[in-house]
Amino acid sequence: MTSFFDSRLEVLITLGQELQAQDYRFTTVTPATHARVNARPQNQVAGDLHGVFGWSRLFPDTVVSERLLALLETGGLLQRQDSQWRSAVRWSSLDDQLFAHSAYPTVEHDAVFFGPDTYRFARALQQFFQQAEAGAVRRAVDIGCGAGPGAILIAQACPQAEVSAVDINPRALDFTRANAYLAGIDDLQIRQSNLLDGVDGQFDLIVANPPYLLDPDERTYRHGGGDYGGGLSLRIVETALERLTVGGTLLLYTGAAVVNGDAPLRRQVDALLADRPVSWRYEEMDPDVFGEELDSAAYRDAERIAAVTLTVKRLA
């Protein structure tokens, strides 16, 4: 293992390899569903690896091997609670790949999220590459890469391209490095950046799956700011307009509140793209996500939150 990996990265990679060898798979659900499932009496304590690394449950040291326990401890990823343990890292599967990310519940300001939005984002990327010519992508970037699934999928679909994964959160970059290594991607450009600050040049493909909720604690992985959480999404569109090559594409997966049948984000995108040399499409992938947010004051006027994709192609 190369020397630039620090001890935690080495631990993440070794853990991932161990779980791959045991054919571990886990599909991550929404936080609300996760809470309901874990609240059942029979689910208070983990009885297998899915309970430890998927459901983030407490576990006795007899549930995992001494090797896995030692790895978690070495990487500072083992939390003690009374006479039991909890893993500070979680593992989810996307197709045949494993991704490390933050354990449930994601309460820390620098938590790195992976969940149903990730699966929808991946599906949008896969559909894009079914229709687009992968060979036309020479430079690509995933803005706010999180655990890295977007950048890794691009690198696999476009092996000839220079692919960058950027995030403002250093913890996200550590997860991305480990996940890229496990996926066999050794040339991903991984760097800290606020949007594309400090990243030079134009891109044939820009993708993003940004936070899009209004979070009272303004946690990095969750808070989108602006009107109904759409502020960061609009900033990404503005950034992409300046950094796309002619013929280049922005693929943005995000969320949009709907108020009295109208999506403010769509209207704002329409105004932003008016008179620009672009073609674009706004599409709902799922009409109703994060319904529990409608109970909060921030969404008191909203009737639903939709998961949407925005595709923008620069024409000139």
Residue type, position 52, single letter: V
Q: Which of 80, 102, 124 is at the close of a domain?
A: 102
Q: Which residues contact 262 (CB under 8 A, 6 or more apart)?
A: none
Give the residue, 67 or 134, on which the prediction is more confident: 67
Q: pLDDT (tens digit, 9 = 90+) per residue, 8-25? A: 899 999 999 999 999 999
| Residue-level pLDDT at 3 | 36
| Residue-level pLDDT at 2 | 39
Share of the chain above pLDDT 90, in %: 92
Q: pLDDT (tens digit, 9 = 90+) per residue, 87-127? A: 999 999 999 999 999 999 998 989 999 999 999 999 999 99
**Nearest-angstrom CA–CA distance, 212 and 222:** 7
- The answer on 157 and 60 residing in a single domain is no
Residue type, position 277, single letter: P
| Residue-level pLDDT at 214 | 94
| Residue-level pLDDT at 68 | 95
**Nearest-angstrom CA–CA distance, 285 and 251:** 13
**Nearest-angstrom CA–CA distance, 26 and 156:** 22
- The answer on 130 and 88 residing in a single domain is no
Q: pLDDT (tens digit, 9 = 90+) per residue, 38-58? A: 999 999 999 999 999 999 999
| Residue-level pLDDT at 132 | 84
Instruction: Report if residue 243 sits inside a domain.
Output: yes
Q: pLDDT (tens digit, 9 = 90+) per residue, 264-290? A: 999 999 999 999 999 999 999 999 999
- The answer on 154 and 87 residing in a single domain is no
Q: Which residues contact 181 (CB under 8 A, 6 or more apart)?
A: 13
- The answer on 170 and 47 residing in a single domain is no
- The answer on 186 and 140 residing in a single domain is yes
| Residue-level pLDDT at 135 | 82
- The answer on 86 and 158 residing in a single domain is no
Segment 74-99 shows an average pLDDT of 95
The average confidence (pLDDT) of the chain is 95
Tally of domains in the chain: 2
Q: Which of 76, 102, 128 is at the close of a domain?
A: 102
- The answer on 168 and 81 residing in a single domain is no
- The answer on 224 and 147 residing in a single domain is yes
Instruction: Report if residue 110 sits inside a domain.
Output: no
- The answer on 264 and 142 residing in a single domain is yes
Q: How confident is the model at residue 133 (pLDDT cuts 50, 70, 90)?
A: confident
Q: Quick check: 260 pLDDT over 80?
A: yes
Q: Which of 59, 75, 102 is at the close of a domain?
A: 102
Q: Which domain holds residue 77?
A: 7-102
- The answer on 259 and 306 residing in a single domain is yes
Rg (CA), the chain: 20
Q: pLDDT (tens digit, 9 = 90+) per residue, 173-223? A: 999 999 999 999 999 999 999 999 999 999 999 999 999 999 998 988 899
Helix boundaries (H) for the chain = 7-21, 31-38, 49, 66-74, 116-131, 149-157, 170-182, 231-243, 264-273
Determine if the pTM surpasses 0.85.
Answer: yes
**What CATH code is carried by the domain that includes residue 234?**
3.40.50.150
Instruction: Report if residue 217 sits inside a domain.
Output: yes
Q: How confident is the model at residue 4 (pLDDT cuts 50, 70, 90)?
A: very low
